Amino acid sequence: MVLVTIAFFAYATEVAFSMKNNDDNDKTDFDFTRTTKSGRIGSIMMLLALFFLFGGVLFRGLSAQRVPWGNMYEFSITGAFAVTGAYIFGVIRYRLRWLGLPISFAVLLTLGTAVTVLYRPSAPLVPALKSTWLAIHVSAAIVSGGVFLLANAVAGTYLILDNIEKKGPRPTWALRLPTLEALDQLSYRLVAFVFPLWTFAVIAGAIWAESAWGRYWGWDPKETWAFITWVAYAAYLHARVTIGWRGRRAAWLCLFAGSTFLFNYVYVNIWGTGRHTYSGL
Amino acid sequence: MSDIPELSSVGVLRWIWRQLTSMRVALILLLLLGVAAIPGSIFPQRTQNPMKVQEFFTQNPGLAKWMDAIKLFDVYSSPWFSAIYLLLFISLVGCVLPRTFSHLKAVGAQPPLTPKFLDRMEFYATVNGNPAVALDKSEKWLKKNRFRIRREENSISAEKGYLRETGNLLFHLSLLLILVAVGVGSLFGSKGEAILNVGERFINTPTSYDTLSFGKFQSEGSLIPFSLKVTDFVATYDPATNAPTDYKLTVSASNPIGSKEETKIIKVNSPLTYASTKIYLQANGYSPVVAIHDKSGKLVFEGPVAFLPQDANLTSLGAIKVPDMSPQIGFVATFVPTAARDSKRGAFSAYPEALDPRLLVSVWAGNLGLDSGIPQSVYRIDTSKMTRIGLKSLGLNQTYNFGEGTITFEGVKSWVNLQIVDDPGKMYALLGAILAVLGLLISLFTRQRRIWIKIGDTVEIAGLAKNGMTGLKEEIDQLSKELKG
């Protein structure tokens, strides 16, 4: 119980830090000389948030004495961790700092709902979830989800900037953002990087379903939507690589594919009827 | 386009084939498959939840009839869903097989000739090296980096990354394997369920099952001849949340029948496996044990009767039918493992373990309707031709005299629902899935690129990366450095 409380405080601190990060990045609107500094502070805050989130997930796991992926509260905090991790990775590898504003907002939103609406005290798992595949299947799905959402943020930025550029030159706040081609290429790379992992997550789920439910595929709503997401991203990759879609069309398809994932997470978990609903969220 | 009317039927077929195997059509089919899968996640499906479908029918009879006509309750076996994925797979075969053949040819072939004008390439550089030794040096470097090399008099053409296409083809062929495996499973498999009380024995023959379905090419003789006896079942619960934490089923099984019996444990995530047949623990509940005597004191029924759990605390409903009494007697009953009572719900169960079990019976006399020929649920009684003659809440070992006889609540046993599945296609599906991921990884992370070196007055280097993968520039820089030094 103490551990849960500590974890809880960790989130609160973390949320405050993310907020600060938000504000800092907002200053980009007004002042360029100050942004570099505040942007850097934002990144450091996000890095701190990453550690706190990791602590939160870890303590949750310790307090429940199992992998902390048994209900939606736990998925959400782990998802927030995954998105933040993907963002930090992006900052280091692809200079993605400009994405800080939408990403920290998304993380904040996720954590907000997790702490207020979805919170459940830690409890042991129901028998069907007791399997090594829980760790494998869920972690693969969560990481995939984190990167899908990152790709969505990039594709969304592409569409907004594209609209702005159609009307005229970029306003000052957008000058430091990458070129349209770079955004386009980046969202493709993210998807291409994580598509095999998503495929693996679905397969791991199928293997687990075979041992828990007696069939590897049964068109359970969750399975169906995972399949739809898979098909949508497969279509996206084909459209880019084979037909040569670029720009707006590709970005819309990417957004569509990402939204099927979100729909699966939100709709099927809360209002769905399938076998993926456990223990009241 | 004006020549379309003149096309022969062969021409039309060829046109259809070309359209079907085009990437654009394949893409449309792919997206269509995704869209077609949606209704199955919105409307109840017969294969998953036949009860819900029935409910839908009683609530909206008109709409349901119409929806049933277009197979909205059997989406994944409907003609339109099948049509989409079959077309998609035909398209896939039409696209992948020719590519496989040309790839096999390309594997043995040399890289293409060096183009005339290298400066048109994506990456181009001239190097101040010695043209006389440049080709030898390049060849050495390229060989070291395992490029495929074609050396001409004044130039080298090199290519690397054929694995990309190999992985791509492997991925798509693996998808075909998965589809075949699914087909094998549904044509040659079987799937059935049986409810057993603790202490009962199951012999794997069709008559032992409560429900059993076979694939098209599977017959009754193909069931594996095993037998098992349920010796023990333990369910443990978390006292804080009442949620189950563990189910442990112990059976003594013999395969084939008559061989030495072995003790086996079956849990939710670890079924008992005999070759391609697996025995799963699917559900569990309580069977109250009752003894019923008639007016003369003769025992007319004794034994456990399986009840259906209604909630997380295992409040269970059931029916006990005694057709051998005159008039026929039926008990519509509720079983609560840990009795509690409040004004709103009446009697209910407060905990899923049988701590304070009670059996609530309402006794009906009349015609059970068992001879009507219409199959009846074992958990329900049609009381339309009966009258109620008694109502009683029974504790353990209590007896109730309802006038026509007595009922004694003797004890409680657990029942388990075993699902017995034979799916011979499963291993192929797994193999296909593993190969598919492998192929995907190879194709998405292999960089395919070409490098050319040409000597004349200067040394020219050029490169081309397929699908805009990065890293080629670094390689060319490295090679230039090599040639300078």
**Alpha carbon of residue A160 to chain centroid:** 20
Residue B206 lies in a domain: yes
Q: What is the pLDDT of residue B385?
A: 86
Please answer yes or no on whether A219 and B436 come within 8 Å at the CB atom. no
Chain B residue nearest residue A268, CA to CA: B41
DSSP states of A84-127 as a string? Answer: HHHHHHHHHHH--GGGHHHHHHHHHHHHHHHHHTS-----PPPG
Q: Specify the DSSP class assigned to residue B267.
A: B
Per-residue pLDDT of chain A (281 residues; tens, 9 = 90+): 344 444 444 444 544 455 445 444 444 333 444 455 566 666 777 777 778 778 878 878 877 777 777 777 888 888 888 888 888 887 787 777 677 777 777 777 777 777 777 777 666 677 777 788 888 898 899 889 888 988 998 899 899 889 888 887 777 667 767 888 888 888 998 999 899 999 999 999 999 888 888 888 888 888 999 999 999 999 999 888 888 888 889 999 999 999 999 888 887 777 666 666 654 44
Count the Cβ atoms, other than its own, within 10 Å of residue A160: 13
Please answer yes or no on whether A211 and B423 come within 8 Å at the CB atom. no
Count the Cβ atoms, other than its own, within 10 Å of residue A133: 19
Q: Are residues B423 and B278 part of one domain? A: yes
Instruction: For residue B23, give the nearest of A217, A234, A242 by CB distance.
Output: A242
Residues 6+ apart with CB under 8 A from A259: A152
Q: Which domain holds residue A234?
A: 133-281
Residues 6+ apart with CB under 8 A from A54: A81
Question: Taking the CA atoms of chain A, what radius of gyration do you get in angstroms?
Answer: 19
Q: Which of B178, B191, B269 is the best substitution to test chain A (most A C-beta atoms within 10 A)?
A: B269
Answer for the pair A48, A17: CB distance below 8 angstroms, yes or no. Answer: yes
Q: Are residues A180 and A263 part of one domain? A: yes
Question: A212: which chain B residues are within 8 Å (Cβ-Cβ)?
Answer: 268-269
Q: What is the pLDDT of residue A20?
A: 46
Residue B171 lies in a domain: no
Question: A210: which chain B residues are within 8 Å (Cβ-Cβ)?
Answer: 426
Q: Are residues A101 and A216 part of one domain? A: no
Residues 6+ apart with CB under 8 A from B468: A185
Q: Are residues A260 and A167 part of one domain? A: yes
Q: Are residues B236 and B384 part of one domain? A: no
Q: What is the pLDDT of residue B278?
A: 92
Distance set, CA B419 to CA A213, B100, B318 (Å): 9, 42, 21
Single out the residue of A80, A46, A77 nearest to residue A60, CA to CA.
Answer: A77
Q: Are residues B289 and B407 part of one domain? A: yes
Q: Which two tokens stand for residue B100?
A: 């496989």
Instruction: Convert B260-295 to b/e letters by CB count within 10 Å (16 or more is b).
Output: eeeebebbbbbbbebebbbbbbbebbbbbbbbbbbe
Number of structural domains chain A divides into: 2
Please answer yes or no on whether B280 and A125 come within 8 Å at the CB atom. no
Answer for the pair B418, B283: CB distance below 8 angstroms, yes or no. Answer: no
Cα–Cα distance for residue pair B50/B38, rounded to 1 Å: 18
CATH number of the domain residue B153 falls in: 3.30.310.80
Residues 6+ apart with CB under 8 A from A119: A73
CA distance A95 to chain B (A): 16
Residue B152 lies in a domain: yes
CA distance B49 to chain A (A): 10
CA distance B259 to chain A (A): 26
Please answer yes or no on whether A216 and B278 come within 8 Å at the CB atom. no
DSSP states of A117-179 as a string? Answer: TS-----PPPGGG-SHHHHHHHHHHHHHHHHHHHHHHHHHHHHHHHHHHHHSSPPGGGTTSPP
Answer for the pair B330, B320: CB distance below 8 angstroms, yes or no. Answer: yes
Q: Are residues A107 and A227 part of one domain? A: no
Please answer yes or no on whether A127 and B244 come within 8 Å at the CB atom. yes
Please answer yes or no on whether A219 and B240 come within 8 Å at the CB atom. no
**pTM listed for this prediction:** 0.82
Q: Are residues B15 and B79 part of one domain? A: yes
Single out the residue of B258, B236, B261 nearest to residue B248, CA to CA.
Answer: B236
Q: Are residues B152 and B122 part of one domain? A: yes
Range list of H helices, B328-448: 426-445
Q: Are residues A185 and A89 part of one domain? A: no
Residue B209 lies in a domain: yes
Instruction: For residue A123, give the nearest of B38, B243, B267 by CB distance.
Output: B243
Please answer yes or no on whether B421 and A123 come within 8 Å at the CB atom. no
DSSP states of B463-484 as a string? Answer: EEEGGG-S-HHHHHHHHHHHHH
Q: Are residues B215 and B141 part of one domain? A: no
Please answer yes or no on whether A212 and B27 come within 8 Å at the CB atom. no
Q: Are residues B453 and B335 part of one domain? A: no
Backbone angles phi, psi at B299, to 5 degrees: -70, 120
Biggest CA–CA distance in chain A, Å, is: 62
Q: Which of A181, A189, A199, A277 is the best substitution to test chain B (most B C-beta atoms within 10 A)?
A: A199
Q: Which of A189, A210, A252 is the best substitution to test chain B (most B C-beta atoms within 10 A)?
A: A210
Q: Are residues A178 and A240 part of one domain? A: yes
Size of interface A-B (CB pairs under 8 A): 119
Instruction: Convert B231-245 to b/e letters by CB count within 10 Å (16 or more is b).
Output: eebebebeeebbbbb
| B345 burial type by CB count under 10 A (0-12 exposed, 13-18 middle, 19+ buried) | exposed
Chain B residue nearest residue A193, CA to CA: B444
Cα–Cα distance for residue pair A210/A218, rounded to 1 Å: 10
Q: Which domain holds residue B15?
A: 9-105
Please answer yes or no on whether A218 and B47 come within 8 Å at the CB atom. yes
Residue B311 lies in a domain: yes
Residues 6+ apart with CB under 8 A from A88: A43, A46, A47, A50
- Residue A127: asked if its preceding bond is cis (omega within 30°), the reply is no
Instruction: For residue A239, give the nearest of B27, B278, B468 by CB distance.
Output: B27
User: Which strand ranges, in their side-by-side order, compose the sheet holding B201-203?
Assistant: B201-203, B227-237, B244-254, B262-266
Q: Are residues B192 and B148 part of one domain? A: no
Instruction: For residue B268, give the nearest of A128, A218, A225 by CB distance.
Output: A128
Place of tokens 């504000």: A23
Please answer yes or no on whether B269 and A216 come within 8 Å at the CB atom. no
CA angle A236, A237, A239 (to 5 degrees): 65
Question: A274: which chain B residues are within 8 Å (Cβ-Cβ)?
Answer: 41, 48
Cα–Cα distance for residue pair A250/A237, rounded to 1 Å: 9
Cα–Cα distance for residue pair B37/B317, rounded to 1 Å: 36
Chain B residue nearest residue A216, CA to CA: B426
**Alpha carbon of residue B253 to chain centroid:** 27
Q: Which of A104, A124, A144 is the last residue of a domain?
A: A124
Q: Are residues B290 and B246 part of one domain? A: no
Answer for the pair B457, A219: CB distance below 8 angstroms, yes or no. Answer: no
Q: Under DSSP, is residue B331 helix (H, G, I), strand (E, B) or coil?
A: strand
Number of structural domains chain B divides into: 4
CA distance B402 to chain A (A): 42
Instruction: Convert B185-203 to b/e letters by CB count within 10 Å (16 or more is b).
Output: bbebbbbbbbbbbbebebe
CA distance A8 to chain B (A): 21
Please answer yes or no on whether A127 and B268 come within 8 Å at the CB atom. yes
Q: Which of B21, B30, B35, B41 is the best substitution to test chain A (most A C-beta atoms within 10 A)?
A: B41
Question: A272: which chain B residues are within 8 Å (Cβ-Cβ)?
Answer: 41
Low-confidence ranges of chain B (pLDDT < 70): 1-7, 373, 467-469, 485
Cα–Cα distance for residue pair B184/B177, rounded to 1 Å: 10
Contacts by A228-231, CB closer than 8 A, 24 or more apart? A228/A260, A228/A264, A228/B34, A228/B37, A228/B38, A229/A148, A229/A198, A229/A257, A229/A260, A229/A261, A229/A264, A230/A198, A230/A199, A230/A202, A231/B30, A231/B31, A231/B33, A231/B34, A231/B37
Residue B101 lies in a domain: yes
Instruction: Enumerate the β-bridge partners of residue B246.
Output: B236
Q: Are residues A217 and A112 part of one domain? A: no
Please answer yes or no on whether A214 and B33 come within 8 Å at the CB atom. no
Please answer yes or no on whether B34 and A215 come within 8 Å at the CB atom. no
Q: Are residues A104 and A242 part of one domain? A: no
> Is the CA virtual torsion B15, B21, B27, B31 positive or negative?
positive
Residues counted in chain B: 485
Q: Are residues A95 and A164 part of one domain? A: no
Q: Are residues B381 and B422 part of one domain? A: no
Q: Which of A1, A4, A185, A213 is the best substitution to test chain B (most B C-beta atoms within 10 A)?
A: A213
Q: Are residues A100 and A171 part of one domain? A: no
Q: Are residues B454 and B349 part of one domain? A: no
Residue B170 lies in a domain: no
Q: What is the pLDDT of residue A221?
A: 86
Answer for the pair A99, A40: CB distance below 8 angstroms, yes or no. Answer: no
Answer for the pair A128, B268: CB distance below 8 angstroms, yes or no. Answer: yes
Question: B48: which chain A residues are within 8 Å (Cβ-Cβ)?
Answer: 218-220, 274
Question: A225: which chain B residues are within 8 Å (Cβ-Cβ)?
Answer: 41
Instruction: For residue A228, give the nearest of B37, B247, B437 by CB distance.
Output: B37
3-class secondary structure per residue, B381-403: CCHHHEEEEEEEEECCCCEEECC
Q: What is the pLDDT of residue B341?
A: 85
Q: What is the pLDDT of residue A29?
A: 39
Q: Are residues A183 and A113 part of one domain? A: no
Q: Are residues B331 and B223 part of one domain? A: no
Cα–Cα distance for residue pair B169/B175, rounded to 1 Å: 10
Q: Are residues A81 and A199 part of one domain? A: no
Instruction: For residue A235, give the nearest of B30, B269, B440 by CB distance.
Output: B30
Q: What is the pLDDT of residue B211?
A: 85
pLDDT, one tens digit per residue, over B238-273 is: 888 888 888 999 999 998 888 888 999 999 888 999
Residue B179 lies in a domain: no
Question: A238: which chain B residues are within 8 Å (Cβ-Cβ)?
Answer: 23, 26-27, 30
